[in-house]
Amino acid sequence: MTENYGQTVKVLFTEDDIKHEVNQLGKRISFDYRDKDLLVIGVLKGSFVFMADLVRQIDLPFELDFIKLHSYKGVSSSGNVNFDLDISYDLEGKDILIVEDILDTGKTLKKIYKSFSQRNARSIKSAVLLDKTSRRTENICADYRCFEIPDNFVVGYGLDFDERFRALPYIAKLD
């Protein structure tokens, strides 16, 4: 237990746990995309820390960009997902890897897949830091993931609760 923003949090994954998983994931992606035209697309804001660490473990030439969708307010999702920031250039022939902080109901990732699949990309896959499988309402799964977690609200390493806790170097459960 540690104290942040006056709130007690329980560490689930330490900096070292995360580093190990992200390094492994970077190696897998480097191998799987060796003959491809990789475009890594981070979903703001939650993925920004994961994205920064992950791309530095990809030992290939690639491009990167960001998109942003309407985010969570507090602990419950509105279920309504819309683009705030999109990619405007041609995706033809690109092998897209979407990088998300957490796969929860799956609504966000579903919306992204639907949008990108209409734009002639050669392939679309996803890499998520965290996967809350038990919360899924959409028929979707991630191609790569670092950790599966139970139905807890988590913060840190990019993830927020009302915009706080994003800069914690570990992933923690809110009490």
If the CB atoms of residues 31 and 83 are measured against ligand IMP, the closer one turns out to be: 83
Binding residues among 86-105 for Mg ion as defined by CB under 5 A: 101
Interface pick for ligand IMP out of 66, 147, 153, 170 (rule CB under 6 A): 153
Contacts with ligand IMP by CB under 6 A: the residue count is 17
Q: Is 104 a catalytic residue?
A: yes
- Taking CA 156 as the corner, what is the angle to CA 50 and CA 14, rounded to the nearest 5 degrees? 80
Binder of residue 170, out of ligand IMP, Mg ion, none (CB less than 5 to 8 A by kind) = none
Binding residues among 23-82 for Mg ion as defined by CB under 5 A: 46
Show the tokens assigned to 96: 């897209």
Q: Which long-range contacts (CB under 8 A, 24 or more apart) does 24-30 make?
A: 25/54, 25/57, 25/127, 25/144, 25/146, 26/54, 26/56, 26/57, 26/58, 26/59, 27/57, 27/59, 28/144, 29/54, 29/57, 29/58, 29/60, 29/97, 29/127, 29/144, 30/57, 30/58, 30/59, 30/60
Binder of residue 107, out of ligand IMP, Mg ion, none (CB less than 5 to 8 A by kind) = ligand IMP
The minimum distance between CB 52 and ligand IMP, in angstroms, equals 16
Of 95, 104, 143, 175, catalytic: 104
Show the tokens assigned to 25: 């994931």
Active-site amino acid positions: 104
Using CB under 5 A as the criterion, which residues of the chain lie in contact with Mg ion when the complex forms? Answer: 46, 101
Using CB under 6 A as the criterion, which residues of the chain lie in contact with ligand IMP when the complex forms? Answer: 46, 71-72, 77, 100-108, 153-155, 159
